[in-house]
Structure 1
Amino acid sequence: MISFQSKELLETSIQPFIIPSEKVAHVQMGNSLEHALLLLTKSGYSAIPVLDPRFHFHGLISSPLITDSILGLERIEFEKLDQKKVEDVMNRTVPTIKVNSQFQQALTLLIDHPFLCVVDDVNYFEGILTRRSILKELTKQLHTNKKQ
């Protein structure tokens, strides 16, 4: 059984683990699906945040969402990539986390998601919190406790 000596880690702020917005690939709502697909492919990410011109978070776009939106009955309708906008097909119902949230809340949400978008009280996009960064810290803490 794994146990922690204290609740200190679980009550730690997520702030040090956030990848800042300036380093995160994203698209804007009005961008074409062609632009979004190109960015997703070049970056290698499974999904990226969708923002408005004022950097407010609105959802996520992914390659499967784009592909599904251009599937016709008998062929893939590539011409739709330039005609449709990101806001037409993006996923708007994704969990977010606040900048001042605690490690425990992030850990719970990251069970089902590879990353969380971090927003402030007015939904301004602050960056992302990855499952990897949380697991790295958890592993570090486990090794530290094991040595003690």
Structure 2
Amino acid sequence: MIEKHLQKLLLQRRGKFMIPASLVATVNVNNSLDHAFLVLTKDRYAKIIVVDNENHYRGQLSLAMITDRLLETERINVNKLNELTVADVMQTNTPVIQDPFDVEENLRLMIDQSFLAVVDHQDQFCGIVTRRELLKAVSYTLHEFGKDYEVMPKKQSDNE
């Protein structure tokens, strides 16, 4: 559990935690891999959110996933870009969150993810929480903590 004073400082930046869905590039599960490849390349994203026609979160897709699917024994088959859809290649077992302000859970999940998809109770895609924004909040907290609080060591027991 995060110490309550640290939590308070971390949450001072809560307004920047989530990037709303309207500002996040996505691809549709039915898009061709060709389209997804272009979006990922043009926007220089490592991974992108995948949604369905009703904006439900469905997974994530990366250039590496696409490339892996195009590999054959001795060459890359670019014809598959038009034959396959995002649904054929995307990753569906990525962690999602509903509370972008649960700092402890988000930090735990961010160890292995560069961003987390935020969904509502109906799996509607709401936005993303990025590792970058959480690290900025942690940095802020580490730099500001001493301005508001004085840290004293706990009294040591006689056995120590």
Normalised to the residue count of structure 1, the TM-score between the two structures is 0.90
CA distance in 2 between counterparts of 1:94 and 1:126 reads 16
**Distance in 2 between residues matched to 1:14 and 1:89, nearest whole Å:** 36
Task: Give, as a single letter, the amino acid of the residue that structure 2 aligns with 1:147.
Answer: K
Give the Cα–Cα distance (whole angstroms) in 1 for the partners of residues 122 and 110 of structure 2: 22
State the match for 1:147 in structure 2. Answer: 147
The 4+ residue runs of structure 1 with deviation greater than 4 A are 10-15
**Partners of 1:78 and 1:132 in 2: how far apart?**
34
Aligned-residue CA RMSD in angstroms? 2.2
| Larger Rg computed on CA atoms | 2
Cross-structure match for 2:126: 126
Structure 1 unmatched runs, 5+? none
Partner of 2:60: helix, strand, or coil?
strand
Q: What is the alpha-carbon distance in structure 1 between the residues aligned to residue 4 and residue 56 of structure 2?
A: 39
TM-score, normalised relative to structure 2: 0.84
SS at match of 2:117: strand
As a proportion of its length, which structure holds more helix? 2
Whole-Å Cα distance in 1 between the matches of residues 14 and 147 of structure 2?
26
Which shifted more, 13-22 or 31-40?
13-22
Cα deviation for residue 61 of structure 1 reads 0.5
Q: Give unmatched runs, 5+ long, in structure 2.
A: 149-160
Q: What is the aligned partner in structure 2 of residue 58 from structure 1?
A: 58
1:84-103 pair list within 5 angstroms: 84-99=84-99, 101-103=101-103
Q: Distance in 1 between matches of 2:146 and 2:116?
A: 29
SS in structure 1 at match of 2:7: coil
Count of matched residue pairs: 146
SS in 2 for 1:77: coil
State the distance in 1 between where 2:14 and 2:4 align.
Answer: 22
Alignment of 1:112 onto 2:112: yes
Distance 1:14 1:83, change over 3 A: farther
